[in-house]
Structure 1
Amino acid sequence: MILYKTVDLFAGIGGIRRGFELTGKFKNVLSAEIDKYACQTYAHLYGENPYNDVTTEEFKKKVESTDYDTLLAGFPCQSFSRAGNEEGFKDKTRGTLFFDIADIIERTRPKSFLLENVDNLLSHDKGKTFKIILETLCLELNYKVIGVEIDETGNLIYENSNFMRNSKNFGLPQNRPRVYIMGFDKETFNEKIENLPYVELPRVRGKDPIINSLSDAIERGTSKEFYVAQGYLNTLKKHRDRHKNKGNGFGYMVLNLPGEEKQYSNALLATGGSGKERNLIYDPQPDFYGLMVKGKQTPLNNEGIRHMTPQEWGRLQGFVGYAFLNENKVDSFSFPEGLSNTQKYKQFGNSVTIPVIEEMAQFMIQCLNFLESRH
């Protein structure tokens, strides 16, 4: 069995790595993450400390001396400079984290890569940011990016929809559109890459859903700490009403009110805040109504409204109940002891939906099998 070696940049808690590992065809050999708490969870899950800073020359030298095939990166989106064009991508992207990815790709020439980012990347700076990224990868670094063609005059031809995929189509009930960019090295695969028959990233999960409905992701009878204080709930209602009066659709959302059940959750966000407020749950436990709970300024609400738990977020991202099941279907996912709920929400919200990544990895294997075949 061929094992491709991966380098995992901006690793978070290893969601992209895990999606690739689930195929049985990829093995991770180097990781990079600088968030203290994400590093703790990563080490807890994989038995290795990923602490490395992608932006440093020390780390780039480490990648140069590492034998690997595939670069993985869920990189943060930053504003790009519109500086001069003397150095191509180095000039246009300097000071951004994409520059560091491009620099590592140029130095090490991996056979393939998968980059992941928020959906706003497509519209950022009226599409100029995304265009610079694709021009860098295709024209400067000479990679074939799935979903991009180059015309006779060297202009890129692509549709934004070629790169947008949504978690709700990959077996989990979460509305989470994200951008995925996959590329293969023209210098490694030469003319064969022009005959690659796989021209579109997967749009759906090729197997049965992992969770059939949103209600299946929800656990009943959680502890009182997750219930919303009445004063806070009143504030959320006032905030929503204010926006509603202005014609805006912002505001909190309860996903499973009787008769109003939603099919999908809203996107889980690393900031917690709106990611939590737009994913509230109706889970009545009358014994909790009116209780004072440490850390809350007013009594618990008497409407049965609570936040989702970190465990529920983990299910919607494919960490809990899927990606870490052993051969006996026992779930081995856990966080390090003592990690706060705030960090758990942040880590899940910052992560990828693992089954989407798994599908991308399966697609990459198909491409690599074709490119590396002898005929």
Structure 2
Amino acid sequence: MNKEKTKDKFTFIDLFAGIGGFHIAFRNSGAKCVFVSEWNESARKTYEANFRKIDPEIFENGHFVGDITKVDPKDIPDFDILTGGFPCQPFSQAGFKKGFEDTRGTLFFNIAQIIKEKKPKAFFLENVRHLLKHDNGKTFAMIRKTIEEDLGYSFHYKIVKASDFNLPQHRPRLFMVGFRNKKIPFYFPDPVELTKTISHIFDGNAEKKVGYTLRVGGRGSGINDRRNWDSYMVDGEVKRLTPKEGKRMMGFPNNYSFPVSDSQAMKQLGNAVAVPAIQAVAEAIINSLTNYYDKRK
């Protein structure tokens, strides 16, 4: 992790931050992080170990917080872009009677509260693709309605795979992007050619070219299972993913460190976002914002 000077043109907050995949992606895109929320102590330990030196103000200013539900949105510093991969939770009301209030009791409600209070220029949310069908589509419909009608933002979404951005695993995820000014055009970036394979991950000759999805923690599947994620035939031997290979599978930098056990590190990586995919969308968001606001000067 390098402490290179970013352009600091746009600022962002990192919610449900995990180990900082969004932070890396947006920082690489020229934005500056001003606030982080992550409740898991093990993930917080890894996050701080990697970002305290390069973005010390977050920690020195008390902007590295735990439970986002205990944070008053008014206490969050001003920012331009809200980011986060939030849990998929059902809403208690299915009838859309109260709109925004129907999301109360879920972590999406906290996201919506922050957007309502802080009015950022844009947001970028990530979730599992199952969110589209969750609760017979009602969950996604409520999220979209809240963002478009109650908060007044545009809403763009797409299923994006890690392999679309040159990582050798499928890992489909739902990306949702929106802008406060609905006139700002936005297009998800086109996939790039997949040139990396499992062989590149292990520095050897692997039988399988692309893995299914690096999953959360410790549940290995059979070596011949097409969904297998943690064991591969490399140079005729069964090789298991270690954090070194896990970082490569998720697009984290080689010098990203884990002050936790290997099993905890693999669980954290299984929960992380695919950095190159996030970064491609981050760059598209920043380009859309830059082009729009530059024209207004």
TM-score (norm 2): 0.85
- The match for 1:15 among 8, 12, 21 is 21
Structure 1's 123 and 104: CA in aligned 2 closer, same or farther, altered over 3 A?
same
Structure 1's 59 and 13: CA in aligned 2 closer, same or farther, altered over 3 A?
farther
Structure 1's 276 and 53: CA in aligned 2 closer, same or farther, altered over 3 A?
farther
* Residue correspondences, number: 276
Say whether residues 1:114 and 2:128 are aligned partners: no
Say whether residues 1:176 and 2:109 are aligned partners: no
Matches within 5 A, 1:135-284: 135-146=145-156, 162-186=157-181, 193-194=182-183, 196-198=184-186, 200-205=187-192, 212-219=196-203, 256=206, 261-274=207-220, 278-279=228-229, 280-283=231-234
Q: Residue 125 of structure 2: SS of its match in structure 1?
A: strand
Q: Distance in 2 between matches of 1:142 and 1:312?
A: 42
Unaligned runs of 5+ in 2: 1-6
Q: Distance in 2 between matches of 1:262 and 1:141?
A: 46
Q: Which residue of 1 aligns with 2:261?
A: 340
- The match for 2:73 among 51, 54, 60 is 60
Q: Distance in 1 between matches of 2:215 and 2:222?
A: 8
Bigger Rg, structure 1 or 2? 1
Identity, % of aligned positions: 37
2:74 counterpart letter in structure 1: K
1:170-213: CA deviation from partner (whole Å, max 9, x where unpaired): 01111110011011003xxxxxx43x443x311314xx76x622
Native 8 Å contact 1:114 1:181 kept in 2: yes
Q: Distance in 2 between matches of 1:180 and 1:275?
A: 27
Q: Which residue of 2 aligns with 1:363?
A: 284
Deviation at residue 60 of structure 1 after TM alignment: 2.5
- The match for 1:317 among 250, 275, 283 is 250
Q: Which runs of 4+ in 1 moved over 3 A?
A: 83-86, 274-277
Q: Distance in 2 between matches of 1:204 and 1:83?
A: 36
Q: Residue 121 of structure 1: SS of its match in structure 2?
A: helix
Say whether residues 1:30 and 2:15 are aligned partners: no
Deviation at residue 82 of structure 1 after TM alignment: 2.4
Q: Distance in 2 between matches of 1:275 and 1:181?
A: 31
Q: Residue 143 of structure 1: SS of its match in structure 2?
A: coil
1:315-341: CA deviation from partner (whole Å, max 9, x where unpaired): 0101134xxxxxxxxxx32112xx111
Unaligned runs of 5+ in 1: 147-161, 187-192, 221-254, 285-302, 322-331
Q: Distance in 2 between matches of 1:351 and 1:82?
A: 30
RMSD (Å) for aligned C-alpha atoms: 2.3
Native 8 Å contact 1:267 1:275 kept in 2: no
Q: Distance in 1 between matches of 2:171 and 2:200?
A: 18
Q: Distance in 1 between matches of 2:106 and 2:15?
A: 14
Native 8 Å contact 2:217 2:263 kept in 1: no
Structure 1's 216 and 85: CA in aligned 2 closer, same or farther, altered over 3 A?
closer
